Structure formats: structure tokens, C-alpha cells
Amino acid sequence: MIKSINNHIDKFLASLDDIDDNQKGIIKNKYATTVTDDLKKGHITSNVCMITASVANKNPKELAEILTKMLSDSSEFKTVESAGPGFINVTLHRADFTSVVNEVNKNLINYGESSIGKSKSVQIEFVSANPTGPLHVGHGRGAAYGDAIGRILSLSGYKVEKEYYINDAGRQIDILTTSVFIKVFKKHFTDFFPTNAYKGSYIEDIGSIFIDKNNPELSVDVSLLKDDLPIDEEKEIDELILRIKKNEPSLWLNLKDFALNEVLTSIKDDLKLFNVSFDQWFYESSLGDVSDKNSQVAAAINTLKDKELAYEEKGAIWLNTSSSGDDKNRVLIRDDGRATYFASDVAYHKDKVDRGFNKLINVWGADHHGYIKRIEASLDGLGFEKEKLSVQLVQFANLFKDGKKVKMSTRSGDFYSLADLIKDIGTDAARFYYLSKQADQHLDFDLDLAKSDTKENMFYYIQYAHARICSLITKYEEEYSQLPESAQSISNGSYKSCDKLIHEMSKYPNVVARSCSALQPHLIIFYLKDFAHTFHSFYNDNHVLTESKENIDSIIYCLCGAKTVISNGLGLLGIKAIEKM
């Protein structure tokens, strides 16, 4: 029906001959015809007259009068009124208003879908945590967010590819390997453990499994490895890495692959538990080494050099990023010939664009925001439209348990992992609360609340509505065996208690669309909260199963739709609606 009203609005705009086509284009882009926030204002509302007034410097109320008359004359709608500063409020004929119930019941899991994505391909890169240890709760928010926007974009007509970038090439992996190496040979190393090595218990676990499978032995004296290391923490670990690589080359490679694989497996397991899936796992190492002229890293840097954006200074290769607004230029290749993380990332983004995506979304921790300019500059330099890239920042979440802040990590290497969180409150509650606030803002995540059974716990409040509906439907099925296929007394207007619920239902597609264009899943959460409230209120005021058979049929048919809306909404967040509480 919104489409029909917009058709009339098109004619209305066409009839205004003192406004030029350019202005009309602006108006068409800006105005909105939507479901009203409240039934008191009718069913559908449009602000087109106010937009027209501001663009063309006219009187909104006068325009509203004209449009009201046009819409009224069509007799397509029950009533049309101009209201407030110039809104057009349309009340639909009963059958049109209630038709959304049929629509929901017909489309089921597809209710809410749209084609705003126009089948464009979009790649979402998220989590991409260094494979040096298990995922912790800091990664959870990005995981929930990236996965949710993937689902929302898919439903909105985008072709979505979700990717995890594995930093398996840098120093961090060397430190991981070294840490495990020491644990494997802990008898030889006795108490020795470098300050900057990883200390979590998972390191020891990986070491134990490696011993079981390989029963390795050192071919050199351990003192050759650990004696006379530099005192500086950073230099100490770097020197140790070098010595192990040199003295135990095959063991090193073997152990490195093993450790990386173990950690990645644990990451994948956790993500699976968290109901997050990826289409691609991209290995940084596949970009090759800068020393190899045929590698992608070298190719990307050469391209930048050819364009005179990359240059040599103080023995290093720099990228001119400041010309694109960065604070200073950045190093691509260090003076010792090793590539920086940034160089790999430039090559990685070149690869992404070469794969032909229409749109790239990077989900990054908010602490990386200083990095955006840099990567944009490199895309610019490689001749790509930086508008294709959208970086979504995810702020840290502070977790509170027993009223106290949960420490993310400690020196000892112990931390509250994503797996711990899932064990504590479950995947669904965790995802829900991660997504309950705009991603780029600080989130205080109260674990006690997430487990509590009060109304304050929005998650259970919504689930409870779904469970109540399921319970009614089950009871109906026990009595009548077959679910109703229409809502007679609702569509003919003899039963109106569901009207508010129907009105809420009709808002859903627009919520999904907004959530899609803003990349904000939390909009769905707040919608569901309102929707659940509308249902609970209805449930209290109406005793469904003692109504007349005709009314019961209608209500149940309508509630099947309500159930679909809740489970679809939660589904977009990667959360399963529960049928019984």
C-alpha cells in the first residue's frame, strides 16, 4: 500500500509545475512514506509535503491540503488527513490493513526481505583475530556484529561473503611457536620463560599434544638457545626466535604449523559454538613474502612505487599516506628488508578489490580507527574507489560479573574467553547483549542481568513473548489439529484486539531495511522489545482460547504471524527463538 501511496505522490509532484525537475529529484530522494508510529495517526504517513516545502520554499500545510484531496478522491483509502505541520496520514481499508498478516504467513522466514542490495556483492571481513590464542570476549562483539550484518544484508538482497583474515605470517606467530617450543622442552629449559612469550594454559596444552604425536628431541644443547639472550624484553624474544629457527629449522616449521593449526581449530570451534560462520579463511602467508618478486605483496608495493606514492627514505620504503589526510607517512618495508603488517594489508586489500566485490566492509576494533586513513590512502593509491570500503568500528565491551568488571587478560595469560562466556550465559544471550547497543559505542555487558529472570532482562522478555505464542499455538493444535488458514473476523473487522499487533508487524520490513542501510543490528533488538511489549499487553487483556471459534481461528492465524516476526528478527541476529521457557 505504501507503493500505491507513493504512486499518487509521484503524480502530485508532477502536477506542481512551479518546481523544477532537479528539485523534484531531491524531494523524491528525501521524503519517506512509512507505517505510522501509532495507530492514532492512521496506518501510513508521509512527510512529502514538508520535504517539498523545505526544498521549494512553500507552505507545507497548503501542499498537504492538495495532496489530501488527491488521495481522498482516489477512494483507494478509507480516510486521508493532513495533520500537524504537514503530515499526510492515511487510514487504509480494513482488508488492506490486515493483509500484512497474510503476507507474513505466506512468506514466513522470508518476511522482511527486500531487494535494496540489488544483488550487489559485498564482502564482510571480521573477527580476524591473531591466531595466537583462543578468542576472548573482546572478539565476541565483532563476531556477533559481523555475522549479524551479514544476515541482514543477505535478506536485503546483497550477495554476502564473510571472510576471516588470518595473520599467520608475522612475528606474533613466531612468538607463539617459540612459546610452545619452550613448553615442549620445558625439562631442558627448566624455569626459563621469556617475558614476552605467551603464557596461557593453552600453550602448555598445545605442547603436550605435540609431544604425544611427535615425541620430538632437541638436536642441540639448550644452552645454545637460551644463554646470553639480550636483557631487553623485545630483543630477548626476537633473538630466541632467530636461534631456534637457525638451530632447529625443521622442528621449527613443524611446530609452527602445528601450533597455528591447533589455535585455528580452537578459534573455529569457538566460532561454531557462537553460531558464526565464514565463507573464506584468508591466509596472510598466501600473499607471499616481499623478498619474492612475484609475490602479491611485492606487486602491490611496485604498483605504488610506479605511481610515485611509495618511496625510499632512511633505508626503508614508505607510503605517502599524508597526502590523503593521514598524520604522517607510513613504512611499508623496514630498513632490514622485512615487510610491515601494513604492507601485507595493502596487498590484502588489493586482492579483495581484485576479486571484484561491489562493496567491502571491514569490522575493526575501535582502537584501529587511526588506521582507516592509512588503508584508504593505499586504496586510493592503487586506483580503487575508497568509497567502496566501509570500515565499521566495534568498541570494547566491558563485562561485569557479580557487579565487578571482568578482566580481559592478565599477565599470567589467564583470561575470560569467548568459550567461557558461552558456557556461562549461552550463545544466544551473549549475542543478544553484544548486539544490544550500536557497535561503535562502549558497551557495559552485565552478565548477571543476562542470566536474570526479570523484565529488565530484555532477552528473556522477548523470548518469553515467543514462548507464550508457541504455547497458545500448541494448545490450539491439540484441540483442532490443523492450524487456521485465514483471519476472517480480523479482516472483516468484527475482532479488533489484534490491531496494534498487526500494525507493529507491518513495521518490520522497514526496520530491517533501516538496519541494513545503517549497518545497525541493534535497531532490530529495540523493535523486538517493542513488539514483545505489544504482544504481552494483548495477552493480558485478552483470553484467547475462550473466544468464539471464529475469533480463536483469527487470533491464532495472526499470532502465527507474530511468532514469525519474532523468530525472524532474532534469526537476523543469529539467535534461535525458544518455544518453551
* Binding to RNA, residues 425-464 (CB under 7 A): 437-438, 440-444, 453-457, 460-461, 464
- Considering only residues 25 to 54 of the shown chain, the ones binding RNA according to CB under 7 A are 29-30, 32, 34, 36-38, 40-41, 45, 47, 50-51, 53-54
Taking the complex as a whole, how short is the minimal distance between the CB of residue 403 and RNA, in angstroms? 12
Whose CA is closest to 264, among 133, 172, 372? Answer: 133
50-58 long-range Cβ contacts below 8 angstroms, 24+ apart: 50/85, 50/86, 50/87, 51/27, 52/13, 52/16, 52/19, 52/27, 53/86, 55/19, 55/23, 55/26, 55/27, 55/30, 56/16, 56/18, 56/19, 56/23, 56/27
Q: Which is nearer to RNA, 7 or 214 (CB)?
A: 7
Interface map 261-300 toward RNA (x if CB under 7 A): ----------------------------------------
Taking the complex as a whole, how short is the minimal distance between the CB of residue 356 and RNA, in angstroms? 26
516-to-43, 151, 155 alpha-carbon distances in Å: 23, 9, 9
Query: Residue from 218, 283, 526, 576 that binds RNA (CB under 7 A)?
Result: 526
Taking the complex as a whole, how short is the minimal distance between the CB of residue 347 and RNA, in angstroms? 13
Taking the complex as a whole, how short is the minimal distance between the CB of residue 57 and RNA, in angstroms? 6
Taking the complex as a whole, how short is the minimal distance between the CB of residue 31 and RNA, in angstroms? 7
Q: How many residues bind RNA (CB under 7 A)?
A: 92
Query: Residue from 208, 261, 302, 471 that binds RNA (CB under 7 A)?
Result: 471
Does position 233 bind RNA by CB under 7 A? no
Query: Residue from 23, 130, 285, 390 that binds RNA (CB under 7 A)?
Result: 130
Contact by Cβ (8 Å): 487, 397: no
- Considering only residues 340 to 379 of the shown chain, the ones binding RNA according to CB under 7 A are 340-342, 366-371
Burial 79-101 (b: 16+ CB within 10 A, else e): ebbbbeebbbbbbbbeebbbbbb
Q: Which is nearer to RNA, 251 or 467 (CB)?
A: 467
Taking the complex as a whole, how short is the minimal distance between the CB of residue 435 and RNA, in angstroms? 11
Taking the complex as a whole, how short is the minimal distance between the CB of residue 167 and RNA, in angstroms? 4
Segment lying near RNA (by CB under 7 A), choices 258-266, 272-280, 409-417, 543-551 = 543-551
Does position 22 bind RNA by CB under 7 A? no
Query: Residue from 6, 68, 89, 551 that binds RNA (CB under 7 A)?
Result: 89
Query: Residue from 218, 316, 406, 408 that binds RNA (CB under 7 A)?
Result: 316
Q: Which is nearer to RNA, 62 or 221 (CB)?
A: 62
Helices (H), 286-386: 296-306, 341-354, 372-381
Query: Residue from 327, 354, 477, 485 that binds RNA (CB under 7 A)?
Result: 327
Cα–Cα dist 388/378, whole Å: 13
Does position 3 bind RNA by CB under 7 A? no
For residue 383, give the 3-state DSSP assignment. coil
Does position 171 bind RNA by CB under 7 A? yes
Taking the complex as a whole, how short is the minimal distance between the CB of residue 309 and RNA, in angstroms? 16
**Residue 410 burial by CB count (10 A; 0-12/13-18/19+): exposed, middle or buried?**
exposed
Whose CA is closest to 506, among 561, 560, 465? Answer: 561
Taking the complex as a whole, how short is the minimal distance between the CB of residue 208 and RNA, in angstroms? 26
Phi-psi region at 391: left, alpha or beta (left = phi > 0; alpha = psi -120 to 50): beta
Cα–Cα dist 43/87, whole Å: 12
Cα–Cα dist 521/511, whole Å: 10
Torsion sign over Cα 521, 522, 528, 530: negative
Q: Which is nearer to RNA, 188 or 368 (CB)?
A: 368
Cα–Cα dist 545/553, whole Å: 10
Taking the complex as a whole, how short is the minimal distance between the CB of residue 511 and RNA, in angstroms? 8
Show the cell assigned to 209: 599434544
